[in-house]
């Protein structure tokens, strides 16, 4: 199976995997909020309020106004009716999403008038946190059935609600939800660790910057998953819920910034020419500023900090079409694979921003969609890296072939295919041992050109080159060093015979059966330095002149140059 076919197969499998994960995601999300939803009504806390008083004061509660319209502060949340799944003698788990608040206390009113209290202060939230960022309160099973539920929420920032996604579940449903969420988060963490190790090892071997930035992106995603799941409070029980949310925001902003920088290095340099390059830097700066400011200052003016954080993501989303448009204009090789890998994260980032700004109601599925989107991004981006490495490898191989071809063209005489003078001298000078140099010159070549034209003369030069190559050993050097002048260098022990060369040349059939002969001058000696070449060539050229003077079509041998000590 070829590399291209193998890559396409792996890509199809990756997409199929993500499609199956997306199809099963809603079920996993509902598992995160196990049990049956309960309707809620809200009332502001007033002086003298007690749980017993509020449980018998339904007129105080607003059941119609949307939570986010009620502002910040301290609130009571009351459920006017419970699901039929609540049974006498069974414990009840009250599950809701974690928010910016100082504490949440749950009260359960039983049919015998008994009120049971379970408080979850922000400073000790680890005792109540469940996977998926869920706060869980437990109402014990009693002989009397549970008839009404009440929550007191102190210090609610009410950014996305006062008490989100309240549900009533059995302990078994809660356990099953934790196991399913553990599988989802554990799978994501395992994938991140594997991709991190693999791509870091690839960076150590290949040193492409985008590989290291991909590792940084995956690492920040891993930190985000650790904080958003709530597992960070299991690892460090002394952390408050507010600290967990600050880490969550910071990791999310940092992962977004690293993703933008990764995209910047993943595409070709030409895609980010002009204003787009500083725009990318500006967006990354906004993302880091929003994340760091939120982490450092929250819960001070947490509403303003949340808007700043959301605006940085809007800027990032606004930049995406320009990057894709420029990549399309520049005919980027990586546009299609980038779109495939980043389509899901970009879409869900837009949904999360809209949800963060309260354009639609809170949903556990939307709140945890980031993990699935990140899983898609990490997996398919890794496939995109494989694709890019494949293209880089092909580009490198092509460049090497072109470089070798360019070197060959620079060293080869284009007419005869022999070495040119520069390449010949580079290879000849420095040969060890005694060498023999033959300098051959075609007789009356001017007449040849006048008789059959320059095109015919060129053909004669090619045929002479072929005859010379056929008459010398394979390890001998042969070059065209002038217009009709050729040079041969061979080890003296190879017994290169000038007369045999001339005899081979006489048998070569020429255009129009023209008789073409040559004269040869030879000399032997050392060829270690440029001075050796000058001495050897001078004596061979002198012997060539003698051959010409004595009637041409013959060979003469010059004075042997003594071997250097």
pLDDT at 72: 93
Is 536's pLDDT higher than 90? Answer: yes
- Quickly count: other Cβ atoms within 10 Å of residue 422's Cβ: 12
Helix axes 364-411, 209-228, angle to 10 degrees: 170
Confidence band of 353 (pLDDT split at 50, 70, 90): confident
* Geometric angle at alpha carbon 468, from 466 and 472, rounded to 5°: 120
**Is-contact 76 59, C-beta < 8 A?**
no
> Residues for the chain: how many in total?
565
Average pLDDT on 214-237 reads 89
**Is-contact 313 351, C-beta < 8 A?**
no
Average pLDDT on 15-24 reads 38
Is 539's pLDDT higher than 90? Answer: yes
What does the DSSP 8-state code read for residue 472?
Answer: S
Residue whose pair of structure tokens reads 């608040």 in the numeric block: 101
**Is-contact 128 151, C-beta < 8 A?**
no
- For 204, the enclosing helix (H) or strand (E) is helix 171-206
**Is-contact 476 488, C-beta < 8 A?**
yes
* 484 given a catalytic annotation: yes
- Quickly count: other Cβ atoms within 10 Å of residue 256's Cβ: 26
State the DSSP string of 308-329: HHHHHHHHHHHHHHHHHHHHHH
Is 9's pLDDT higher than 50? Answer: no
**Is-contact 539 435, C-beta < 8 A?**
no
How far, CA to CA in Å, does 435 sit from each of 105, 259, 424, 444, 565? 100, 64, 14, 29, 15
3-state secondary structure of 517: coil
pLDDT at 16: 39
Q: Among residues 484, 485, 499, 550, which one is catalytic?
A: 484
Q: What is the mean pLDDT of the chain?
A: 85
**Is-contact 253 228, C-beta < 8 A?**
no
- Quickly count: other Cβ atoms within 10 Å of residue 56's Cβ: 9
Confidence band of 14 (pLDDT split at 50, 70, 90): very low
Confidence band of 47 (pLDDT split at 50, 70, 90): very high
3-state secondary structure of 170: coil
Confidence band of 561 (pLDDT split at 50, 70, 90): low
The share of the chain scoring above pLDDT 90, in percent, equals 48
pLDDT at 486: 96
Question: Does the reported pTM lie above 0.75?
Answer: no
> For 165-219, how does the pLDDT look when each residue is reduced to its tens digit (9 = 90+)?
899 999 899 999 889 888 888 888 888 888 888 889 888 888 888 888 888 988 9
Ranking 20-34, 126-140, 250-264, 513-527 by mean pLDDT, the lowest is 20-34
pLDDT at 341: 74
Helix axes 335-356, 3-32, angle to 10 degrees: 10
Ranking 24-38, 105-119, 297-311, 455-469 by mean pLDDT, the lowest is 24-38
pLDDT at 367: 64
Cα 67 versus chain centre, distance: 42
Average pLDDT on 474-484 reads 92
pLDDT at 136: 93
Cα 425 versus chain centre, distance: 48
Confidence band of 365 (pLDDT split at 50, 70, 90): low
Greatest CA separation for the chain: 137
- Rounded to 5 degrees, what are φ and ψ at 165? 60, 40
Is 357's pLDDT higher than 80? Answer: no
Confidence band of 46 (pLDDT split at 50, 70, 90): very high
d(CA 203, CA 209): 8
> For 419-461, how does the pLDDT look when each residue is reduced to its tens digit (9 = 90+)?
999 899 999 999 998 999 999 999 999 999 989 999 999 999 9
Average pLDDT on 405-422 reads 82
Confidence band of 410 (pLDDT split at 50, 70, 90): confident
d(CA 223, CA 221): 5
pLDDT at 7: 43
Average pLDDT on 407-419 reads 82
- Quickly count: other Cβ atoms within 10 Å of residue 189's Cβ: 17
Average pLDDT on 483-511 reads 90
Ranking 12-16, 387-391, 464-468 by mean pLDDT, the lowest is 12-16
**Is-contact 54 79, C-beta < 8 A?**
no
Confidence band of 6 (pLDDT split at 50, 70, 90): very low
3-state secondary structure of 165: coil
Is 240's pLDDT higher than 50? Answer: yes
Confidence band of 106 (pLDDT split at 50, 70, 90): very high
Q: Which of 10-24, 77-91, 295-309, 381-395 shows the highest mean pLDDT? A: 295-309
Structure tokens at 206: 């290949």
Burial class (CB in 10 A: 0-12, 13-18, 19+), 365: middle
Is 12's pLDDT higher than 50? Answer: no
Confidence band of 562 (pLDDT split at 50, 70, 90): low
3-state secondary structure of 360: coil
């Amino acid at each position: 199976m070829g590399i291209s076919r193998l890559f396409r197969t792996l890509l199809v499998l990756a997409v199929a995997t993500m499609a199956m994960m997306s199809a099963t995601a809603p079920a996993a999300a509902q598992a995160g909020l196990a049990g049956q939803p309960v309707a809620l009504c809200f009332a502001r806390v007033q002086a003298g309020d007690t749980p017993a008083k509020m449980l018998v004061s339904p007129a105080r509660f607003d059941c119609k106004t949307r939570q986010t319209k009620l502002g910040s502060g301290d609130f009571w949340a009351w459920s006017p009716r419970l699901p039929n799944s609540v049974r006498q003698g069974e414990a009840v788990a009250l599950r809701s999403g974690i928010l910016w608040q100082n504490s949440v206390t749950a009260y359960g009113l039983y049919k015998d008038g008994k009120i049971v209290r379970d408080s979850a202060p922000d400073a000790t939230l680890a005792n109540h946190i469940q996977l998926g960022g869920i706060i869980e309160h437990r109402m014990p099973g009693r002989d009397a059935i549970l008839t009404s539920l009440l929550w007191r929420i102190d210090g609610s920032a009410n950014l996305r609600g006062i008490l989100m996604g309240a549900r009533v579940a059995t302990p078994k449903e809660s356990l099953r939800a934790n196991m399913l969420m553990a599988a989802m988060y554990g799978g994501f963490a395992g994938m991140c660790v594997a991709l991190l190790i693999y791509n870091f090892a690839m960076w150590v071997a290949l040193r492409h910057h985008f590989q290291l930035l991909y590792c940084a992106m995956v690492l920040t995603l891993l930190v985000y998953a650790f904080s958003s799941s709530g597992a960070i409070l299991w690892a460090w029980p002394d952390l408050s819920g507010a600290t967990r949310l600050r880490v969550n925001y910071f990791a999310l902003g940092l992962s977004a910034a690293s993703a933008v920088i990764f995209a910047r290095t993943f595409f070709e340099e030409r895609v980010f020419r002009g204003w787009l390059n500083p725009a990318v830097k500006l967006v990354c700066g906004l993302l880091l500023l929003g994340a760091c400011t939120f982490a450092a200052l929250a819960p001070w003016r947490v509403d303003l900090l949340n808007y700043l954080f959301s605006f940085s993501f809007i800027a990032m989303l606004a930049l995406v079409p320009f990057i894709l448009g420029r990549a399309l204009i520049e005919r980027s090789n990586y546009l299609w694979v980038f779109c495939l890998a980043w389509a899901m994260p970009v879409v869900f980032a837009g949904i999360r921003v809209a949800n963060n700004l309260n354009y639609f109601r809170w949903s556990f599925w939307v709140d945890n969609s980031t993990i699935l989107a990140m899983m898609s991004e990490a997996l398919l981006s890794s496939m995109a890296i494989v694709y890019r490495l494949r293209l880089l490898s092909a580009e490198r191989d092509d460049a090497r072939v072109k470089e070798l071809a360019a070197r060959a063209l620079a060293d080869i005489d284009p007419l005869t295919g022999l070495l040119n003078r520069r390449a010949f001298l580079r290879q000849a000078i420095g040969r060890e041992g005694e060498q023999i140099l033959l300098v051959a010159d075609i007789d009356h070549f001017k007449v040849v050109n006048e008789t059959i034209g320059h095109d015919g003369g060129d053909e004669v030069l090619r045929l002479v080159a072929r005859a010379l190559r056929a008459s010398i050993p394979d390890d001998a050097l042969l070059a065209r060093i002038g217009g009709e002048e050729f040079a041969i260098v061979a080890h003296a022990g190879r017994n290169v015979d000038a007369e045999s060369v001339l005899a081979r040349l006489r048998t070569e059939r020429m255009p129009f059966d023209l008789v073409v002969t040559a004269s040869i001058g030879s000399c032997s000696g050392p060829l270690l330095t440029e001075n050796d070449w000058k001495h050897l060539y001078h004596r061979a050229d002198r012997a060539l002149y003698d051959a010409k003077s004595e009637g041409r079509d013959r060979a003469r041998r010059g004075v042997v140059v003594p071997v250097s000590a």
